[in-house]
Amino acid sequence: MKYKVEIYEDDRGNPMADVPDEIYLVFNVLLSDIQEDFSGIWLDAVNDVLSKRSSYEEVSGNVCIIKVEGNITKIVFKFAEEDEEDHCFIETKELKKIFMLWDEAIEKKYGGSN
């Protein structure tokens, strides 16, 4: 994997993620939009574009929107203040790897029923 991403449990046993600053909004997608669930529709959108079933997919959550297009995905933070950075880019294949890491952690913690 290109980025150093760590998925772990915090002091209270909640899923947590550390991601590099350059892809900082991945943290928001995981912790605010996906939360303690599997990546589901988020990963489906990535897979649809990577498999060329679709040329563009967009998923909107509570906090972020991912715009999956070819090799690059744009993550947009919906609530950015003026003068704040409101988006970042990540390679679509790398985002898929992070979603899969998240899903593995959720599976380990909660099993397949979540």
For helices 92-110 and 40-50, the axis angle rounded to 10 degrees is 150
Judge whether residue 84 has pLDDT over 80: no
Question: 46 and 40 in contact (C-beta within 8 Å)?
Answer: no
pTM here is: 0.92
Question: 89 and 72 in contact (C-beta within 8 Å)?
Answer: yes
Predicted confidence band at 113 (pLDDT cuts at 50, 70, 90)?
low
User: Six-digit token pair at 19?
Assistant: 């991601």
User: Six-digit token pair at 101?
Assistant: 């890491």
What was the pLDDT predicted at 74?
98
